[in-house]
Amino acid sequence: MKLFVFDHCPFCVKAMMVAGLRKIDLELVYLQNHDVDARIEKVGANLVPILQKEDGSYMAESLDIASYLDNLDGNPAIAEGTMDERISAWMNIAGQFGSRLIYPRWTMIELPEFQSEEAKAWFTKNKSAMIKMSFDEAFANSEEYIAKLNVELLKLDWLVPPSQRNNVLTYDDINIFPFLRNYTVTKGLRYPGNVRQYLDEVSKLTGVALFDSVAVGAPVATA
């Protein structure tokens, strides 16, 4: 089987988490960000992730793919979630600052979906429109957004690391970890102890790497 993804895409990470947790033999294929035709020809829409099953057919929608992979052997390992509303509420607020931090940084580090200037330009144009400012402006305001996101991270006192629940993952983890993982591309964020432990443990269980080693901080002020 093949999974067509972007490494920075949180919806792709949902499927990648399940594949890693269940040790599924799955080939990751990184599409170029601007190559819309490659997605449309597979599932009729500009979507990722896309799973190519063993019979050659394709399926889209991240949670459908996650469920399909988890049920391949008839013994699903991921438990039902119970915190959909809490997670959505937190992400709606945190995402206002998080998106303005991470979008510019995706074009500053080495990612497989941005192997051409065309791919970076396509992403920059579309995401700048989403955050209603240029990447340069967003990056210049990094310190402000880092401070605001640090406040929101303190509110994740309800986040419980897997080791405190028998290393059983739920769909709550599938829904929140990909976004928290993406925030690790920003240097300067302060994670409360439980959040840092959560990130490290889920990363280890699923094999989905964090971005700490390549994180980009705020621009250095010049006199």
Within 10 angstroms of residue 183's Cβ, the number of other Cβ atoms is 24
pLDDT digits (tens, 9 = 90+) for 120-152: 999 999 999 999 999 999 999 999 999 999 999
Q: How far apart are CA 196 and CA 223, in angstroms?
A: 35
Residue 105 vs residues 34, 98, 161, 182, 216: alpha-carbon distances, Å: 17, 11, 27, 10, 7
DSSP letters, the chain, are -EEEE-TT-HHHHHHHHHHHHTT---EEEE--TT-HHHHHHHHSSS-S-EEE-TTS-EE--HHHHHHHHHTTTS---PBPPS-HHHHHHHHHHHHHHHHHHHHHHHTTS--GGG-SHHHHHHHHHHHHHHHTS-HHHHHHTHHHHHHHHHHHHTT-TT---GGGGTT--BHHHHHHHHHHHHHTTBTT----HHHHHHHHHHHHHHT---SGGG-B-PPPP--
Q: Which backbone phi and psi does 58 adopt, to 5 degrees? A: -115, 150
Closest CA to 170 of 82, 86, 74, 49: 82
Indicate whether 57 pLDDT > 70: yes
**CA 40, 41, 42, 48 torsion: positive or negative?**
negative
Q: How far apart are CA 113 and CA 15, in angstroms?
A: 17
Residue 153's pLDDT is 98
Give the residue-averaged pLDDT of 169-178: 98
Task: Band the pLDDT of 222: cuts 50, 70, 90.
Answer: low
pTM of the model: 0.95
Residue 220's pLDDT is 82
